[in-house]
Amino acid sequence: MLDRYVFGSAGRISPEAPVPVVRVDRVEERPGGAANVAANISSLGVQVTLVGITGDDGQAGFLESALADVCYRCYRLPGASTITKLRVLSQNQQLLRLDYEEEFPANAADRMLEIYAEQLRGATLVVLSDYAKGSLARVETLIGLAREHGLPVIIDPKGADFTRYRNASVLTPNYREFESVAGESLSEDEVCAKARSLCDELSLDAVLITRGDRGMTLVEGAGGEIVNLPAEAHEVFDVTGAGDTVIAMFASALASGYGYREAIGFANAAAGIAVEKLGAATVSAAELNARSGRPAAQKRLQPEELLGALERSRRRGEKIVMTNGCFDLLHAGHVECLEQARALGDRLVVAVNDDASVRRLKGAGRPLQDLDKRLKVLAGLEAVDWLVVFPEDTPERLVQLVNPDLLVKGGDYAPEQVAGAGHVRQQGGDVITLPLVDGCSTSGIVDAIRKTGRGPA
């Protein structure tokens, strides 16, 4: 679809009818519908090919121009008009929307199907955005072809017949669409039960329900996870295209090697940015990183979860840095060391001593902050990607498990004294010690508090 925006000032009422008169200042053309999904994927730096149906007219030309950064393989249907949505806005408020569309003949989907089949070779994942305009009239065949190539299929569904999407990987309905199929739910448990039943009935991996100001819910099939995320707390300006942003971000994260839990976190953050923009708009990776970074709640991982995250990271060619410590009373020296360590690679793993090991290393009365508090403070640092806890006095076992490209420690250690240094070097990695920050130590801070009599003794 082509989204056309007419901007102007509405300073008076027409003498012909009780309607505002808009003096047009400018006109913008943007990708709409599935084209907006493709534009969002491209803005994240992910290679994408758009397949669909347009008319054979000037609007299709405008659409192609608006998709300069997207590989475009659409079928121009002779004699047809490109679906166009025209919105008239004044002072950034929508006054009127006009839809120019006509139903495509059933055989139009056949030609698009040929183009689609040609694009599956070399693909990583398929997104099917259903707007009930005719392009996905043969959606069962589209799913089947993708599955034959071993590709996951993520679908933004439409209508009350979800059986058409059987054997897809994930459906992403909004809550109204979900209830139109599953029926009204009186509790969160009932929502999840119905979503899981839908997964089982249609052989889906998961259902991702977008819920507006209530966030989103991911429900996997029998035995799988249920993830509820609250909406990002940002000012809602315009919800146009927010669903497109969600599926684009979710699919891009999956294609980049992330799991469902991580992908829904990225999608939720992107949706919070999208609704602050006017009209159908894209969200870039830079905006996402600048806004929220990695959600703190997702940073603490069990060792087996960390291994999965590391595997996905390495598939993307990222350099893994690892450091460790007690981090009892986090101070400027800790922050400086962590920021320098993160700057040496793409991902920083921080191994943290549990309370018992801190007590053995530091003596009675330590730690001053229990493990949960120490982890919460560390998780709030942008430099930290993943946190993992170890009960031993040294992280030697974890270092061998992680196999970092670079092992980093503070300058009070010589490189050969760093736990796990020998293993890292045997695996082709390196060990670096960073200079300490003058005047920064937990013991010094505690001594100063005791001498002044302020704070806990």
Per-residue pLDDT of 385-403, as tens digits, reads: 999 999 999 999 999 999 9
Q: Which pLDDT does position 375 carry in this prediction?
A: 92
Q: Which pLDDT does position 455 carry in this prediction?
A: 45
Distance in angstroms (rounded) separating the CA atoms of residues 270 and 288: 6
Q: Count CA atoms closer than 13 A to 38's CA, side-chain side.
A: 27
User: Is residue 371 predicted with pLDDT exceeding 90?
Assistant: yes
Give residue 410's pLDDT band: very low, low, confident or very high (50, 70, 90): confident
Tokens of 346: 């793409």
Strand-by-strand arrangement of the 170-171 sheet: 126-129, 153-156, 170-171, 206-210, 216-220, 226-229
SS3 content of the chain, % helix, strand, coil (to 5): 40, 25, 40
CB 196 within 8 A of CB 188: no
Q: Which pLDDT does position 268 carry in this prediction?
A: 87
Instruction: Say if strands 320-325 and 226-229 run parallel, antiparallel, or are unpaired.
Output: unpaired
CB 231 within 8 A of CB 214: yes
User: Is residue 275 predicted with pLDDT exceeding 80?
Assistant: no
Give residue 289's pLDDT band: very low, low, confident or very high (50, 70, 90): low
Catalytically annotated residue among 244, 328, 355, 385: 244
CB 116 within 8 A of CB 145: yes
Structural Rg of the chain based on CA atoms: 27
Contacts of 69 (CB under 8 A, 6+ apart): 39, 42, 43
Strands in 315-438 per DSSP E: 320-325, 347-353, 386-390, 406-410, 430-434
Give residue 107's pLDDT band: very low, low, confident or very high (50, 70, 90): confident
Distance in angstroms (rounded) separating the CA atoms of residues 89 and 421: 62
> What percent of the chain is predicted at pLDDT more than 90?
59
Q: Is 327 left (phi over 0), alpha (psi -120 to 50) or beta?
A: left
Q: Which pLDDT does position 291 carry in this prediction?
A: 57
CB atoms within 10 A of CB 272: 22
Q: Which pLDDT does position 278 carry in this prediction?
A: 67
Task: Specify the 3-state DSSP secondary structure of 228.
Answer: strand
Distance in angstroms (rounded) separating the CA atoms of residues 220 and 225: 5
Distance in angstroms (rounded) separating the CA atoms of residues 42 and 37: 9
Give residue 308's pLDDT band: very low, low, confident or very high (50, 70, 90): confident
User: Is residue 9 predicted with pLDDT exceeding 80?
Assistant: yes
Distance in angstroms (rounded) separating the CA atoms of residues 207 and 240: 22
Q: Which pLDDT does position 280 carry in this prediction?
A: 62
Q: Count CA atoms closer than 13 A to 162's CA, side-chain side.
A: 27
Task: Return the closest-CA partner of residue 353 out of 310, 396, 385.
Answer: 396
Comparing 447 with 349, the larger pLDDT belongs to 349
Average pLDDT over residues 237-242: 60
Q: pLDDT of 111-140, one tens digit each?
A: 899 999 999 998 999 999 999 888 899 999
- H/E segment holding residue 426: helix 421-426
Q: Which pLDDT does position 240 carry in this prediction?
A: 63
- Average confidence score pLDDT of the chain: 87
- H/E segment holding residue 54: strand 53-55
Distance in angstroms (rounded) separating the CA atoms of residues 67 and 23: 28
Q: Which pLDDT does position 380 carry in this prediction?
A: 87
User: Is residue 234 predicted with pLDDT exceeding 80?
Assistant: no
Contacts of 382 (CB under 8 A, 6+ apart): 293
Indicate the pTM of the whole model: 0.64
Q: pLDDT of 329-350, one tens digit each?
A: 888 888 989 999 999 999 999 9
Q: Which segment of 161-170, 373-382, 435-444 scores lowest on mean pLDDT?
A: 435-444
Average pLDDT over residues 363-385: 90
Give the burial class of 311: count Cβ atoms within 10 A of its Cβ; 0-12 exposed, 13-18 middle, 19 or more buried: exposed
Q: pLDDT of 150-188, one tens digit each?
A: 999 999 999 989 999 999 999 999 999 999 999 999 899
For the question of residue 244 being annotated catalytic, the response is yes
Q: pLDDT of 37-79, one tens digit each?
A: 999 999 888 999 999 999 999 999 999 998 888 999 999 999 9
